[in-house]
């Protein structure tokens, strides 16, 4: 087995063995104390970090890019799940691979013919996947599901804060689970909290991206315990 194949199997095992896993979205963390935040998340039992990359074009907000991924890779062995909310994913995906990403998802809305990029990312040993907004017809994603290692079902429109959880995501998770089984990891992002997390897991979600339900709490360990209890 080649080094790249070993890397891919390692990454896949990291994500599969963590499932169902709570993935903190670092958008809300304290970037002035990034290493301290990461250590607190590690102590709370987090296994995967979720990184939302926004370009101010595909979505109206700007977040961070490769330097943050590189910084995180230097200070932690936790898996890094990079969600590209950008207009030209093919232009930048390999830079995120080099920065240390373990998984990369990009939007079907940004790249209607994604097969080549999915295969290029996977060929580096990094998990590759597609994300889809709740307002986008699933028919656009279905033909490419077989080329994905992950599918990210957005339960809010990407890039907009303060939105309520869209239950359409639950039907989409169920559909994907029934058609692709356990071959592809299913991820859900947006409005996941104590009240919605159980429904997401029941619908088939393997990876659950959490923001304010964790980072708006005083104690990450207690917040993780509550979320894990709610999953059950």
What's the whole-number mean pLDDT along residues 80-98?
97
Categorize the per-residue pLDDT at 99 as very low, low, confident or very high, splitting at 50, 70 and 90.
very high
Question: Which structural domain, as residue segments, surrounds residue 177?
Answer: 3-231
All residues at 6 or more sequence positions from 13 whose CB lies less than 8 Å from its CB, including other chains: none
Dump pLDDT digits (tens) for 151-182: 999 999 997 666 789 999 999 999 999 999 89
Q: Over 90: is that where the pLDDT of 22 sits?
A: yes
H helices of 103-219, in order, are: 115-122, 168-180, 197-203, 212-215
Q: What per-residue confidence (pLDDT) applies to 162?
A: 62
pLDDT at residue 135 is higher than 80: yes
Average pLDDT over residues 25-34: 90
Task: Return the axis-axis angle of helices 220-231 and 34-43, rounded to nearest 10°.
Answer: 50
Looking at residue 62, its pLDDT comes to 80
- The mean predicted confidence, pLDDT, of the chain is 94
Using pLDDT thresholds of 50, 70 and 90, give the confidence band for residue 225: very high
Residues assigned a catalytic role: 52, 189
Element (H, E) at 131: strand 127-132
Q: pTM for the full model?
A: 0.95
pLDDT at 61: 83
- Count of domains in the chain? 1
For residues 115-143, give the mean pLDDT.
97
Mean pLDDT, to the nearest integer, of 35-57?
95
80 DSSP assignment:
E
**Comparison of pLDDT for 1 and 143, the residue scoring more:** 143
Q: Comparing 113-127, 154-168, 180-194, which segment has the lowest mean pLDDT?
A: 154-168
- Judge contact between 193 and 231, C-beta under 8 A: no
CATH number at residue 220: 3.20.20.70
């Amino acid at each position: 087995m080649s080094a790249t194949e070993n890397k891919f199997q390692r990454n896949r095992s990291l994500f599969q063995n963590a499932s169902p896993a709570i993935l903190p979205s670092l958008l809300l963390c304290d970037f002035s104390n990034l290493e301290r935040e990461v250590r607190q998340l590690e102590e709370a039992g987090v296994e995967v970090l979720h990184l939302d990359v926004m370009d101010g074009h595909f979505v109206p907000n700007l977040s961070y890019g490769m330097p943050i991924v590189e910084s995180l890779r230097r200070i932690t062995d936790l898996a890094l799940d990079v969600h590209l909310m950008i207009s030209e994913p093919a232009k930048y995906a390999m830079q995120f691979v080099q920065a240390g990403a373990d998984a990369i998802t990009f939007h079907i809305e940004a790249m209607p013919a994604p097969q080549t990029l999915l295969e290029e990312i996977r060929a580096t040993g990094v998990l590759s996947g597609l994300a889809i907004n709740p307002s986008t017809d699933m028919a656009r994603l279905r033909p490419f599901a077989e080329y994905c290692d992950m599918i990210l079902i957005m339960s809010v429109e990407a890039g907009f804060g303060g939105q309520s959880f869209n239950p359409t995501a639950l039907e989409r998770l169920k559909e994907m689970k029934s058609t692709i089984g356990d071959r592809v990891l299913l991820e859900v992002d947006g409005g996941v909290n104590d009240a919605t997390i159980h429904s997401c897991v029941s619908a088939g979600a393997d990876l659950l991206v959490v923001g304010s339900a964790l980072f708006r709490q005083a104690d990450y360990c207690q917040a993780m315990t509550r979320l894990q209890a709610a999953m059950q």
